[in-house]
């Protein structure tokens, strides 16, 4: 590992916040950040009790924070009663009833705007539909939806009732959807007849129909009518969402349930190192507190801001920073159905100009892709409304950082490069934009309450500039509480690498001599493609499930836009031969089993794979071969060292 880490380019530039930005910021200099940070770490009870006053409670908590390291039991604001949807909607009605809460930009054609009052009513109606269909506190509702307002409304309706939502990204395959529905035993699936992406019309309901008859827990499928086209509906089970919402008995008032602080708010499945996705469990008060506060300080949010996060609500970024964080703050949040290159590669900039976006949050993969089309697409638009830029999902290389800063931000907008995970609920290591100098490629400092550190293998902190594992030494309010129905996997994945309740994130990182964090990517068998997290073992098991394939190993290779691409080594059953046709078939097969994002870019057929004497595939070596390295490192532990040269020669 050390070798990889040490090779990361040395970046020494420092970019201080501009006076105009700092003047208005909540945290105006490093000393202020440090003071609050120290307080949040030394006296978390005091710090978080004060912050929690900014939320609306039905009943205050008894204890701010409880952590049992041996049982891995974590509670925030225990004894409190609160509701997420209430905090995102009801409490704003008096002051911001007519303020725009949500702007929906359609793929093509007219979008929609919702004031807080309108959004509140829509959420109440949706909640009443769920109630009418028998949904109670604690029931699971699965969403398989495009980026339409009904998705934001639907999840807010769930948290209103205390029903647990589980959003499955619309790009996942029917099989992936089924696995997630079955694991959570969801009673209702909310979906859409179609998903519109640029020129493409994807029939989502057809995908759902491939598996839904086999999902035993499902009672109803609510179908959003995105386009008026012929759609197969099964009587008694499939209901048009719009008809349900229009029904006479559906009122636009629904009381918000008084939830316990530690009641589950949602499950979100994410890839890990084994084949089966993990249902990451978030709860109520801590998650709300954490997304509220990170949104406020990281984006330095002020009442007049127009904020746009380009993520999909199918990922945690969309949950926390399109819906919950912004709305809990009473912000105006933009959501976009389409893609950055449709109708032209200036769609993002056109939207920024159209709504006078002030805060823009996107992913490095999008930045790199748009940079390729050239500055002219950016320059066509008046982006002077922008005052802050954000990045999330993967390391942003200094070159892309500087393009984003110079061309998109016109050298006046700080960039917040935010490191976090599905499991962390909210942003963990990040610049506070008015408080500190930025270094391109660094995620800067831990957020309040986050005791982040970098450890060596043996649990000792690393020296300055020495690579290691990023860890968090004490719980924070947004921390996942468990893996759904799998506490053992929770313990093993996050708390078994280091003793004493230390959270292990799975990323490599270093701290430089100024204490800045630099994230260096995953150290486990998780690959980040275009900011999407994929378990290589999931892809491998998809490949092996195809007839004739006997073994496979999937590794990341660097890609100029996606960050990483996937390279698969495949061995076939005796007597079979690889062909271009089989490559295409296997790629399609993976897309069908997991989703198009998991398709390997390259597939190399091999007679055998490099293995240790105990039979373990040495992925480190395959990774080196796939990336075209001459020196693949130490091969003395291999049982079959001779395969290395063959694989090198046959590399594609
Ligand atoms: C993994 C988490 C956090 C929401 C989106 C992804 C990588 C995330 C950064 C960043 C370098 C980053 C890490 C992390 N990652 N943000 N700013 N710099 N790497 O959520 O799907 O749970 O993936 O994304 O490897 O572990 P996720």
* Ligand 1, atom 14, residue with closest C-alpha: 421
Q: What is the pLDDT of residue 10?
A: 58
- What distance in Å separates the CA atoms of residue 46 and residue 42, rounded to the nearest whole number? 9
Query: Ligand 1 in contact with 271 (CB < 6 A)?
Result: no
The rounded distance, in Å, linking the Cα atoms of 123 and 136 is 16
Residue 395 has pLDDT above 90, yes or no: no
Interval between CA 477 and ligand 1 midpoint (Å): 18
Which pLDDT score is estimated for 634?
84
Tokens in use for 556? 């990341």
* Cα four-point dihedral sign 177, 180, 185, 186: negative
Quote the mean pLDDT of the chain.
94
Nearest-CA residue for atom 23 of ligand 1? 421
Cβ atoms of 450 and 429 closer than 8 Å: yes
Label the pairing between strands 200-203 and 194-197.
Answer: antiparallel
Measure the CA–CA gap between 501 and 68, rounded to whole angstroms. 8
Q: What is the dihedral of CA 104, 110, 114, 115, to 10 degrees?
A: 120
* Closest ligand 1 atom to Cα of 396: 18
Q: How far apart are CA 404 and CA 391, in angstroms?
A: 10
Distance 505 CA to ligand 1 centre (A): 10
Closest residue to atom 17 of ligand 1, CA basis: 419
> What does the pLDDT read at residue 2?
36
pLDDT at 4 over 50: no
589 DSSP 8-state letter: H
Residue nearest to atom 21 of ligand 1 (CA): 533
What's the first-to-final CA gap in the chain, in angstroms?
Answer: 25
pLDDT at 459: 95
- Rounded average pLDDT over 102-111: 97
Q: Does ligand 1 come within 6 angstroms of the Cβ of 261? A: no
DSSP assignment of 221-285 equals EEEE-SS-S-----TTTEEEHHHHHHSTT--S--PPP-EETTSEEEEEEE--SSSSPEEEEEESH
421 pocket-lining for ligand 1 (C-beta < 6 Å): yes
Ligand 1 pocket, residue 519 CB under 6 Å: yes
Q: Is 507 in the pocket of ligand 1 (CB under 6 A)?
A: yes
What is the CA(82)–ligand 1 centre distance, in A?
29
pLDDT at 304 exceeding the cut of 50:
yes
**Cβ(165)–Cβ(159) under 8 Å?**
yes
Separation in Å, CA 443 to CA 132, 393, 416, 422:
46, 12, 7, 17
Least confident piece of the model among 38-47, 122-131, 268-277: 268-277
For residue 70, the number of C-alpha atoms closer than 13 Å in the C-beta half-sphere is 0
Instruction: Tell whether ligand 1 has an atom less than 6 A from the beta carbon of residue 424.
Output: no
- Compute the distance from residue 420 Cα to the ligand 1 centre, in Å: 5
Q: Which residue has the higher pLDDT, 143 or 523?
A: 143
Res 5: pLDDT: 38
Answer yes or no: are the C-beta atoms of 432 and 35 closer than 8 Å.
no
Q: Give the integer Cα–Cα distance in Å for 445 and 217.
A: 44
Alpha-carbon span 165 to 173, nearest angstrom: 19
Q: Whose CA is nearest to atom 19 of ligand 1?
A: 394
User: What mean pLDDT comes out for the span 107-128?
Assistant: 98
> Could you read off the pLDDT of 342-381 as tens digits, one per residue?
999 999 999 999 999 999 999 999 998 999 899 999 999 9
User: Angle at CA 178, nearest 5°, toward 173 and 183?
Assistant: 130
CA distance 460 to 467: 12
For β-strands 526-529 and 517-522, DSSP reports them as: unpaired
Q: Is the dihedral of CA 361, 363, 369, 371 positive or negative?
A: positive
Q: How far, in Å, CA of 643 to CA of 640, rounded? A: 6
> Ligand 1 in contact with 278 (CB < 6 A)?
no
Instruction: Tell which one of 401, 418, 421 to mutate to probe ligand 1, the residue whose CB is within 8 A of the most ligand atoms.
Output: 421
Q: What domains are there in the chain, each with its CATH number?
A: 116-257 (3.40.50.980), 526-649 (3.30.300.30)
Question: Residues 443-491: pLDDT tens digits?
Answer: 999 999 999 999 999 999 999 999 999 999 999 999 999 999 999 999 9
What's the 522 CA to ligand 1 centre distance in angstroms?
A: 9
3-class state of residue 185 by DSSP:
coil
- Between residues 4 and 311, the one the model is more confident about: 311
Ligand 1 atom nearest to CA at 519: 11
Point out the ligand 1 atom lying closest to the alpha carbon of residue 521.
Answer: 25
Residue 390: exposure state from Cβ atoms within 10 A (0-12, 13-18, ≥19)? buried
Minimal CA–CA distance to 542: which of 269, 175, 171, 170?
175
- Confirm if 279 and 332 have CB atoms less than 8 A apart: no
Which residues make Cβ contacts (< 8 Å) with residue 37, sequence separation at least 6? 445, 446, 448
Q: Name every residue whose Cβ is closer than 8 Å to that of residue 418 and which is 6 or more positions away in sequence.
A: 298, 390, 391, 392, 427, 428, 429, 430, 443
Nearest to 477 by CA among 42, 36, 39, 67: 67
- For residue 8, what pLDDT is reported? 43
Query: Is the pLDDT score of 3 beyond 80?
Result: no
Q: At what angle do helices 580-593 and 536-544 cross, to 10 degrees?
A: 120
Does any ligand 1 atom lie closer than 6 A to the CB of residue 317? yes
**Looking at the predicted structure, is the pLDDT value of residue 173 above 60?**
yes
Min mean pLDDT across 271-280, 297-306, 410-419, 581-590 is at: 271-280
- Percent of the chain with pLDDT strictly greater than 90: 87
Atom of ligand 1 nearest to the CA of 526: 25
Please report the sign of the dihedral spanned by the C-alpha atoms of residue 500, residue 518, residue 520, residue 291.
positive
Q: What is the pLDDT of residue 550?
A: 87
Residue 161's pLDDT is 98
């Amino acid at each position: 590992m050390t070798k990889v880490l040490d090779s990361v380019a040395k970046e020494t530039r420092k970019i201080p916040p501009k006076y105009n930005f700092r003047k208005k910021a909540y945290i105006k200099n490093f000393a202020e950040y440090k003071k609050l940070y120290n307080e949040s770490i030394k006296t978390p009870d005091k710090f978080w009790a004060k912050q929690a006053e900014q939320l609306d409670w039905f009943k205050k908590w008894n204890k701010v924070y409880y952590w049992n390291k041996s049982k891995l039991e974590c509670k925030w604001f225990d004894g409190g009663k609160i509701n997420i949807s209430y905090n995102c909607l009801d409490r704003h009605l008096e002051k911001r009833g007519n303020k725009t809460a949500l702007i929906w930009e359609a793929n093509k054609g007219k979008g929609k705007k919702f004031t807080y009052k309108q959004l509140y009513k829509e959420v109440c109606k949706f909640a009443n539909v769920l109630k009418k269909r028998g949904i109670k506190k604690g029931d699971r509702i699965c969403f398989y939806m495009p980026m339409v307002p009904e998705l934001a409304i639907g999840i807010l309706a769930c948290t209103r009732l205390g029903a647990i939502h589980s959003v499955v990204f619309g790009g996942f395959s029917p099989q992936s959807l089924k696995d997630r529905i079955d694991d959570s035993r969801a009673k209702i699936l909310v979906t859409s007849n179609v998903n519109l992406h640029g020129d493409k019309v994807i029939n989502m309901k057809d995908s759902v129909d491939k598996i839904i008859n086999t999902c035993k827990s499902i009672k109803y499928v609510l179908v959003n009518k995105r386009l008026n086209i012929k759609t197969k509906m099964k009587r008694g089970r499939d209901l048009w969402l719009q008809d349900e919402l229009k029904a006479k008995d559906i009122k636009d008032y629904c009381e918000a349930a008084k939830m316990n602080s530690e009641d589950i708010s949602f499950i979100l499945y994410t890839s890990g190192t084994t084949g089966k996705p993990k249902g990451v469990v978030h709860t109520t008060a801590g998650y709300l507190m954490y997304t509220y506060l990170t949104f406020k300080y990281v984006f330095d949010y002020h009442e007049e801001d127009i904020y746009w996060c380009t993520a999909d609500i199918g990922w945690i970024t969309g949950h926390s920073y399109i819906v919950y964080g912004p709305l809990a703050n009473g912000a105006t949040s933009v959501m976009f159905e389409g893609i950055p290159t449709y109708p032209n590669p200036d769609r993002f900039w056109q939207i920024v100009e159209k709504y006078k976006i002030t805060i823009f949050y996107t992913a490095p993969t999008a930045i790199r892709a748009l940079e390729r089309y050239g500055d002219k697409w950016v320059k066509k638009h008046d982006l002077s409304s922008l005052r802050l830029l954000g990045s999330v999902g993967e390391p942003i290389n200094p070159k892309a950082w500087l393009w984003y800063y110079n061309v998109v931000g016109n050298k006046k907008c700080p960039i917040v490069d935010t490191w976090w995970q599905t499991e962390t609920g909210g942003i963990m290591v990040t610049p506070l934009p008015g408080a500190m100098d930025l270094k391109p490629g660094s995620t800067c400092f831990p957020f309040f309450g986050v005791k982040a550190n970098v450890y060596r293998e043996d649990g000792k902190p690393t020296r300055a500039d020495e690579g290691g594992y990023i860890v968090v030494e004490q719980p924070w309010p947004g921390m996942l509480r468990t893996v759904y129905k799998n506490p053992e996997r929770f313990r093993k994945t996050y708390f078994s690498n280091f003793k004493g309740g230390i959270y292990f994130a799975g990323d490599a990182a270093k701290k430089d001599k100024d204490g800045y964090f630099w994230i260096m990517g995953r150290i486990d068998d998780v690959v980040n493609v275009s900011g999407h997290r994929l378990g290589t073992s999931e892809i491998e098991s998809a490949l092996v499930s195809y007839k004739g394939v006997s073994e496979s190993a999937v590794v990341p290779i660097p890609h100029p836009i996606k960050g990483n691409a996937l390279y698969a080594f495949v061995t076939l059953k005796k007597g079979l031969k690889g062909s271009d046709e089989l490559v295409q078939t296997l790629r399609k097969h993976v897309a069908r089993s997991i989703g198009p994002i998991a398709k390997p870019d390259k597939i190399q057929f091999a007679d055998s794979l490099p293995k240790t004497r105990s039979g373990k595939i040495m992925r480190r070596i395959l990774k080196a071969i796939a990336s075209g390295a001459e020196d693949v490192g130490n091969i003395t532990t291999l049982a079959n060292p001779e395969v290395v040269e063959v694989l090198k020669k046959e590399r594609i």
